[in-house]
Amino acid sequence: MKKKPLILITNDDGITAPGIRALIAVMKEIGDIIVVAPDKPQSATGHSITINNTLYLNEISDKNSDFKELSCSGTPVDCVKLAVTEILKRKPDLCVSGINHGSNSSINVIYSGTMSAAVEAGIEGIPAIGFSLLDYDWNADFSQCKTFIKKIALEVLDKGLPEGVVLNVNIPKLEENQIKGIKICRQAKAVWQEKFDKRQTPQGRDYYWLTGEFVNHDKGNDTDEWALENGFISIVPVQFDMTAHYAMQQLNTWNLNEKD
């Protein structure tokens, strides 16, 4: 009898978020699961880790539950690190992060706690996927994306991923029968044009709210933004080796080793 895969589940919206509940339901159909997720929302924490505070884990599994579930006082990356080093007896076959409430396409991948958890798993040598639904509503309907999430996860378990690569999967806010398919994409060249709304407290102290507008400068039809705008699920293979290999030849022409 074939052994069930072991799947680590985490997120950045917090362990009570409806998105992770939907992901748990899908992964239970595939393998044995363990959940380690933040005890509070940790959106836009990126790849931050806790170094100046203590970390706490609390098991919140129901006594009748068929899987282990723990909340963590730290970041999504802390969750993965603790799961791998302190909780799991063996390396999981897959790590899935999400389902995020909102987009992690294009430049958002840099700030995303959801994707940083997946990247951390990749660094640990675990095939990993970050899932996001383009709906920021806490009560978003995740039912339309479950079939696609299961299909993608099964493909990764069956075929594996290239070394040093994790998947960033974004799903448009559409009914299941309206989604046209899945496209492998590159990350669009888009940015946030940010502003700070300056205000004052009743005591006269200045404070700031970050605001901004998302601007897509990329007109290509092979990007994640194009796919999502045209009714497709986007999959971007993300590498955590951030070396700009193409720039090395140019930099090697600099006179860096010549003495003045």
Q: Determine phi and psi for 215, rounding to 5 degrees.
A: -125, 120
Percent of the chain with pLDDT over 90: 82
Distances (CA, A) of 146 to 35, 62, 98, 208: 18, 24, 12, 39
Percent of the chain with pLDDT over 70: 99
Query: Which residue(s) pair with 237 in the sheet?
Result: 167
pLDDT bracket for residue 3 (50, 70, 90)? confident
In this prediction, residues 62-74 reach a mean pLDDT of 90
Q: Does residue 149 or residue 189 have the better pLDDT? A: 149
Structure tokens at 191: 């940015």
Asked if residue 230 has pLDDT above 90, the reply is yes
Confidence (pLDDT) at 1 = 57
Phi/psi of residue 94, each to 5°?
Answer: -160, 145
On average, the pLDDT of the chain sits at 93
Burial (CB count within 10 angstroms: exposed 0-12, middle 13-18, buried 19+), residue 209: exposed
pLDDT for position 79 = 97
Q: In order of start, what are the domains of the chain with their CATH numbers? A: 6-188+220-251 (3.40.1210.10)
Both tokens of 70, joined, read 């723990």
Q: What is the mean pLDDT of residues 216-244?
A: 93
Residue 183 confidence (pLDDT):
97
DSSP bridge pairs for 170: 132, 234
259 pLDDT tier (thresholds 50, 70, 90): confident
Q: Please state which of the ranges 77-81, 194-198, 245-249 shows the lowest mean pLDDT.
A: 194-198
What would the pLDDT profile of 143-183 be if each residue is shown by its tens digit? 999 999 999 999 999 999 999 999 999 999 999 999 999 99
Asked if residue 72 has pLDDT above 90, the reply is yes
pTM: 0.92
pLDDT for 63 equals 75
CA–chain centroid gap for 173, Å, is 17
